[in-house]
Amino acid sequence: MKTLLFFSIPFLFSSLVWSGYLEYDQDVLIPEGWTHAGRVDPSEELELTFALKQQNVHLLEETLRLVSDPDSAQYGKYLSLEEVASLVRPSEVTQKVVRRWLQSHGISNCLTVHTQDFMQCTMTAEVAEKLLQGSRFHHYIRDGQSLTRSSAPYSVHDDVHPHLDFVGGLHRFPPKSQEPRERRQHFKAGLHLGVTPAILRARYNLTAADVGSAQNNSQAVAQFLEQYFHPADLAEFMNLFGRTFPHMSQVDRVVGTQGGGKAGLEASLDVEYIMSTGANISTWVFTNPGRHESQEPFLQWMVLLSNMSDLPWVHTISYGDDEDSLSTAYMTRINTEFMKAGVRGISLLFASGDSGAGCRHLGKEKNSFRPSFPASSPYVTTVGGTSFKNPYKVTYEVTDYISGGGFSNVFKMPDYQVTAVQGYLKSVTATLPPQSYFNTSGRAYPDMAALSDNYWVVSNRVPIPWVSGTSASTPVVGGVLSLINGQRLLKGLPVLGFLNPRLYKLKGQALFDVTEGCHLSCLDEQVQGKGFCAAPSWDPVTGWGTPNYPELLAALLTK
Ligand SMILES: *[C@@H]1O[C@H](CO)[C@@H](O)[C@H](O)[C@H]1NC(C)=O
Ligand SMILES: *[C@@H]1O[C@H](CO)[C@@H](O)[C@H](O)[C@H]1NC(C)=O
Ligand SMILES: *[C@@H]1O[C@H](CO)[C@@H](O)[C@H](O)[C@H]1NC(C)=O
Ligand SMILES: *[C@@H]1O[C@H](CO)[C@@H](O)[C@H](O)[C@H]1NC(C)=O
Ligand SMILES: *[C@@H]1O[C@H](CO)[C@@H](O)[C@H](O)[C@H]1NC(C)=O
């Protein structure tokens, strides 16, 4: 639920009036939990991000298709950042028009990136409100975190409108954390299994010899909430749980600002588990790249990727927001940024979310499911969650009822998944939720899954049981892909890059199919809390299933 505080958009506004608005469909409501803390002083400095219109986006998309399709002659022929830059760099005209516009407002303090498609400029609030007509900046606070955001939509001058995708730093609040939750369950007396590295490695068939050994391999976790991992927690975790396999106990690089506060469960979990499946692989942590109050940390991370030529091959990210709260212009541009990473051979893995199919209240007794972005992006690999059928044993896996999944309402179904998704829809017709709840023409997710329930995590020096969420399954899958990348590098093969086109061609081969259980959704009369259900082959709850490492390695080591 978002609450409307300062501004309401009269329904009378016709689409004509919106002509200067880049993000007319962006939610400007203040999310629950944030409190207003006054108008921003006119002299206060803000840092805003301008997303300049790129060139050759269709060519970029076609290139991504070719380099990610194992049946294409261009498979694995990735581009360098330099090559991406020459492809998408904004035209001279675009660059000139935007610069002139900024300069005409006295804005000259700007940074750019290697691809020149983002500019980040510092200006006072007074100048920002003149530049971006309609904007009104306020302070907001939540749990000690302070932000500046605009309570009203912004428009830009008609001359610059065609040259910009959007301006970052005005609207989007950091979404509520998909923080792994403590989900305590009431098991019968006896020793249930908590998930530890040894349990994961047993379930996914990783032997002690299945660790990284390639020189130039690396993996990363990224987090954008005010969350820190403590190196001492990782060391303690590996000391407790890493006895049975060779591993690293230190992160090689931290990019961004690590605060000094308490460790976050999420941050601890991500690092501890990517380094348990992706054992002995150099690991980076991207943390809070945006430190200025007007920045959007997720966007800052995307900007950073366009400015670093040497990046880890696999990134796992537990971050998502309601698709319906974000402007199409913003999501479309973020998708282009995902493509830019994909053509470089970078694999981006997003958690599918912890609210099942989600629920959006559309009116009195009228609901629909609620997809989450970037999980719903066609250009990333989205990871859902499972639990053990028998919590006392390493048995087969069933749906974890929180596992996020469903269909995008914005992005159409990509070709690589059409057969799989239509197969699912056909085979379960009789038991599908009502059609009014979801959109069968959209990108369907997740693509894969892993255990997401009942993990042990060391945080602030203390081992904590019962930690659950798709933010656990995502780094687990990330580590497995990194191991495979390592084996490919040793054979002189290119890394996996954007996995989906190849993953869907496997048709579930080398994965443990999850066929039992349903995830949650709207608590209303019609669906009664039930979303989609797992089924043989692909499904919108657990994707194709969970990794069987030796078989997956064999299947992905062929070309
Ligand atoms: C991108 O990197 C260059 C140097 O490599 C730096 O000068 C520039 O400020 C960076 N851009 C941003 C937005 O941080
Ligand atoms: C992997 O694990 C499954 C179930 O745990 C087992 O049945 C299978 O034999 C194992 N080995 C391979 C190579 O798949
Ligand atoms: C760990 O990785 C390094 C390369 O980063 C390699 O030299 C070493 O042999 C690996 N250890 C094991 C046990 O495979
Ligand atoms: C490691 O990979 C990066 C990124 O492709 C490349 O620039 C670098 O030269 C590689 N280093 C080695 C030692 O192969
Ligand atoms: C369904 O998804 C398509 C994109 O695949 C979109 O164009 C359409 O507007 C969506 N319908 C609804 C009701 O959201």
Q: What phi and psi, each to the nearest 5 degrees, are found at residue 370? A: -135, 95
Position 264 scores a pLDDT of: 84
Strands 381-388 and 448-451: parallel
Q: Are residues 352 and 293 in the same domain?
A: yes
What pLDDT is recorded for position 54? 98
Residue 60 lies in a domain: no
Instruction: Name the nearest CA neighbour of 448 among 347, 531, 359, 529.
Output: 347
For residues 164 and 272, state if they share a domain.
Answer: no
Domain assignment present for 188: no
Q: Is the CB of 422 under 6 A from ligand 3?
A: no
User: Does 471 participate in catalysis according to the annotation?
Assistant: yes
Indicate if 297 and 398 belong to the same structural domain.
yes
Specify the DSSP class assigned to residue 140.
E
Mark whether 142 and 248 lie in a shared domain.
no
Structural domain count, the chain: 2
Among 387, 520, 519, 357, CA closest to 449: 387
Quote the pLDDT of residue 17: 47
> Is the bond into 446 cis (omega within 30 degrees of 0)?
yes
pLDDT at position 184 is: 62
Quick check: is 266 catalytic? yes
| Probe residue for ligand 3, chosen from 219, 244, 250, 280 as the CB with the greatest number of ligand atoms within 8 Å | 280
Let me know whether 468 and 389 are in one domain: yes
Ligand 4: which atom is nearest the Cα of residue 80? 5
Pair 296, 443 in one domain: yes
Query: 61 in a domain, yes or no?
Result: no
In a domain, 190, yes or no: no
pLDDT of residue 356: 97
Q: How far apart are CA 114 and CA 312, in angstroms?
A: 18
Q: Give the whole-angstrom CA distance, residue 36 versus residue 223.
A: 25
CATH, residue 508: 3.40.50.200
Residues 145 and 225 in one domain: no
Do 330 and 422 fall within a single domain?
yes
Instruction: Specify if 195 maps to a domain.
Output: no
For residues 489 and 103, give the distance between their C-alpha atoms in angstroms, rounded to a whole number: 47
- The one catalytic residue in 177, 268, 471, 521 is 471
156 with 242, same domain? no
In a domain, 80, yes or no: no
Residue 8's pLDDT is what? Answer: 37
Domain for residue 325, yes or no?
yes
175 in a structural domain: no
> Which residue is catalytic, options 23, 129, 270, 397?
270
Which of 168, 190, 207 is the last residue in one of the domains? 168
- How confident is the model at residue 18, as a pLDDT? 53
Which residue type occupies 298? F
149 shares its domain with 270: no
Could you tell me if residue 286 is left (phi over 0), alpha (psi between -120 and 50 degrees) or otherwise beta? beta
Residues in the chain where the model's pLDDT stays below 70: 1-19, 177-191, 289-290
Among 116, 304, 307, say which to mutate for ligand 1: greatest number of ligand atoms within 8 Å of CB: 307
Select from 324, 438, 439 the residue to mutate for testing ligand 5; criterion: most ligand atoms less than 8 Å from CB: 439
- Ligand 3 atom with minimal separation from the 280 CA: 1
pLDDT for residue 189? 54
For ligand 3, atom 14, the nearest C-alpha belongs to 213
The closest residue, in CA terms, to atom 3 on ligand 4 is 310
State whether the beta carbon of 513 lies less than 6 angstroms from ligand 2.
no
Q: Is 205 in the pocket of ligand 2 (CB under 6 A)?
A: yes
User: Among 108, 142, 168, which residue terminates a domain?
Assistant: 168
The residue contributing the CA closest to ligand 3 atom 4 is 213
- Are 307 and 411 contained in the same domain? yes
* Shared domain check, 142 and 36: yes
- Ligand 1 centroid to residue 289 C-alpha, Å: 13
- Whether 462 lines ligand 1, by a CB cut-off of 6 Å, is no
Range of the domain at 538: 216-356+367-556
The last residue of one of the domains, among 106, 133, 168, is 168
How is residue 378 written in tokens?
Answer: 């066609």
